[in-house]
Amino acid sequence: MATRTTIDGDPDDILCATDTTVSDTSEAAALDMPSRVLTGATRVERAWAHWRALGAPRFLVAPMVDNSELPFRMLCRKYGAEAAYTPMLHSRIFSENEKYRSMEFTTCKEDRPLFVQFCANDPKILLEAARRVAPHCDYIDINLGCPQRIARRGYYGAFLMENQPLIKSLVETLALNLDVPVSCKIRIFPNLDDTISYAKMLEEAGCSLLAVHGRTRDQKDSTKFKADWAALRAVKQALRIPVLANGNIRHMADVNSCLEETGCDGVLSAETLLENPALFAGYKTVEWREEGDEDGCLDQADLAVEYLRLCEKYPVPWRMVRSHVHKLLGDWFRIHPEVREELNKQSTLTFEWLYDMVRRLKELGVRVPLYGGRNAVVDKIVVNGAAS
């Protein structure tokens, strides 16, 4: 099977090659709207009504560049995820490049509730991109939390945190011109008061849902820096709209603890899901196995095969497929690194080759089970002081 083509050039270089000149924010938020100007109380009521109409999802797949694409979202949904974000999309490229749109954004009718996330620094361009996907999603999300070098170069994500007038204009422009609600994903400031002030500004600008990663922009390494759940609780208590928590989620016990300690309305998981897409169904990897946890009769090779079948149904660029295979089978490759090396040598991948690779791993006697399972899912999650 031939490889799929993608946008020419390195994705990071493409993202940064666009003009980063910021438009005049004073006129950007006044495009064609004031019919949607609402009082604060009405905005909050609508925010909650929309969230509840979607089922008030508590377990969400976080946005991950090249990793939260349609086949992976559908795999996570099968195993308990109740909503999901797309990978971050670059608003300017999405507006201008049809090939980028067709390759980087795909969905299906079962892929709901869905957040479509954009990075941006120009309200008009962001609105143009958002209008293209608004009929196919439940939120347009603005990436205000990416801490990576690429975001610094492109002037978006967490590197807009000091330019709150621009951020306010991005949110207002979407809130006043779209029927689909606007959400934002942020990181915290080192100072809690700054974080709360920032979150309140977003709510007042028209943000209908806020996801908060409990680490600062400089705390990029999740293995070194623990997410600050106390800060997440403070943000939740300060806002009137739904708030989602992100950080320190390794298994369902963490999900339960996070919801209880922060009072947030839902939890996002990113890195853990890449190794264990069945997290929200109560499965855990061997790293987090506790005494009494039994073999869940599911392993990462099973999940890899399920993922590949979904990729055949919902085609995505091969770079995404390769990345997921490495993450899903990382524990297995550590036992048989020669199989990983063979994978790395493949300049062109096919599904037949990948299925055969999984078969050969199993024939080598490798099996790293997942533990727990559906019966391990926490039955009662405490949300805002009430069990549900």
Neighbours of 37 (CB within 10 A): 12
pTM, two decimals, is: 0.88
pLDDT for the residue 38: 61
Neighbours of 292 (CB within 10 A): 7
Helix axes 192-205, 164-177, angle to 10 degrees: 30
Contacts of 309 (CB under 8 A, 6+ apart): none
What size, in residues, is the chain?
A: 388
Q: Percent of the chain beyond pLDDT 90?
A: 78
String of DSSP letters for 149-208: HHHHHHT-GGGGTT-HHHHHHHHHHHHHH-SSPEEEEEE--SSHHHHHHHHHHHHHHT-S
**What pLDDT, in 10s, does the model give residues 18-59?**
444 444 444 444 444 433 556 677 899 999 999 999 999 999
Res. 109: pLDDT tops 90: yes
**What pLDDT, in 10s, does the model give residues 316-372?**
999 999 999 999 999 999 999 999 999 999 999 999 999 999 999 999 988 899 999
- Please indicate whether residue 271 or residue 383 has the higher confidence score (pLDDT): 271
CATH fit for domain 11-279, picks 3.20.20.70, 3.30.1330.20, 3.40.50.80, 1.10.3720.10: 3.20.20.70
β pairing state of 114-119 and 182-187 = unpaired
Confidence at 382, pLDDT banded by 50, 70, 90? very low
119 labelled catalytic = no
CB 245 within 8 A of CB 238: no
Catalytic residue among 76, 146, 207, 311: 146
**What pLDDT, in 10s, does the model give residues 196-217?**
999 999 999 999 999 999 999 9
**What pLDDT, in 10s, does the model give residues 240-280?**
999 999 999 999 999 999 999 999 999 999 999 999 999 99
CATH 3.20.20.70 residue ranges for the chain: 11-279
Rg of the chain taking only CA atoms, in angstroms: 21
Question: How does the average pLDDT of the chain come out, rounded?
Answer: 88
237: tokens are 């208590």
Mean pLDDT for the stretch of residues 138-143: 98
pLDDT for the residue 136: 98
**What pLDDT, in 10s, does the model give residues 292-318?**
888 889 999 999 999 999 999 999 999
